Structure 1
Amino acid sequence: MSSNKLAMLIRVQKEREEKLQAQFVKAQQQFQLAEQKYQGLANYRTEYIQQSMQQGAIGLGSRQYNQYVAFISKLDEALSQQGRVVQQSRNVAEQRRQSWLKMQTKRKALEKLVEQAQQREQLLQQRQQQKLADEYAAQRFYQQQLAEQY
């Protein structure tokens, strides 16, 4: 494969790599947002429990106590759901990161191939130039030998 074709492939790979990197960054941001929401819910739950304990110290009726318990159960369910969202977004971000890294590895391998092809081409040109120089020197030497004989 010529170095021009490989260079074009590298450009395509770079574009794909940039797209995958952008997808990874977006997935990472979504993961961080999901984690922030989870932490916000967890903090709110903790504050709500502390508030209910303070109210309990003052005295709570059974109806008010049941409302606190029911709301805490709803917060627990919301935390559980948000925990699943966090895990899913973490998995997506990791998959996108792996895809990006694979594409990066492919691009680097192609760049290495291009570099090797260029080195081979350069070596071939140097050999051809050396062969021409040797032939020229040999002809010159032969012409000098002929000129000395006559």
Structure 2
Amino acid sequence: MAMKQLDTILKYERDNEQRCADQLKISENEYQQNLSRLQGVADYRLEYMKRLSERATNGLDSATYSHYHAFIAKLDTASKQVEIATRQAKALVDQSKSLWLKQRQKVKAVELLRDKRLKKIAVAADRAEQKMFDEIATQQYIRRPQR
């Protein structure tokens, strides 16, 4: 395989690796955002529970208690939905990481193949150069006047 072809393949594989890395970064950001949302909902629920507790110590009518209870139930539902989204985001991160690692292996394989090819070319060039120097030395020896 010619060096130009190997260079083209290497560029193509590196571009694919970059796309995979970009997708992994996007997936990780989305996962972190979901973790933040989950923490935010949990914090808000805790704060709302504290408010309910404070209001309950001063006395609370049943309508207000029902309102608090219904809102906490909505927060629980939201929390479950965010948990699902977080699990899905984590699965996407794992999948993206796997794809990126596979692509990275492809890049390494092409780089290794290219390096081997460069070494072969260098060895062939060294041999040709050595052959040329040997020929020059032989010609100088033959043309040298005898003493």
TM-score normalised over the length of structure 2: 0.90
Show CA shifts across 1:63-112 (max 9, x none). Answer: 32233222212211110110110111111122112212221221122112
| Alignment partner, residue 56 of structure 2 | 56
Gaps of 5+ in 1: none
Alignment-derived partner of residue 146 in structure 2? 148
TM-superposed deviation, 1:49:
0.4
Match of 1:72 in 2: 72
Q: Which moved more, 1:44-53 or 1:30-39?
A: 30-39
Extract structure 1 runs of 4+ deviating beyond 4 A. none
- Normalised by the length of structure 1, the TM-score is 0.88
Which segment drifts farther, 111-120 or 79-88?
Answer: 111-120
Number of equivalenced pairs: 147
Question: Which residue does 1:40 correspond to in 2?
Answer: 40
CA deviations on 1:39-73 (whole Å, 9 max, x unpaired) are 11111100000000011111112332233222212
What's the C-alpha RMSD, in Å, of the aligned pairs? Answer: 1.7
* Identity between Structure 1 and Structure 2 (%): 29
Partner SS state of residue 137, structure 2: helix
Aligned partner of residue 148 in structure 1, secondary structure = coil
Pairing 1:89–2:89 present = yes
Give the corresponding residue for 1:16. 16
Task: Give unpaired runs (5+ residues) of structure 2.
Answer: none
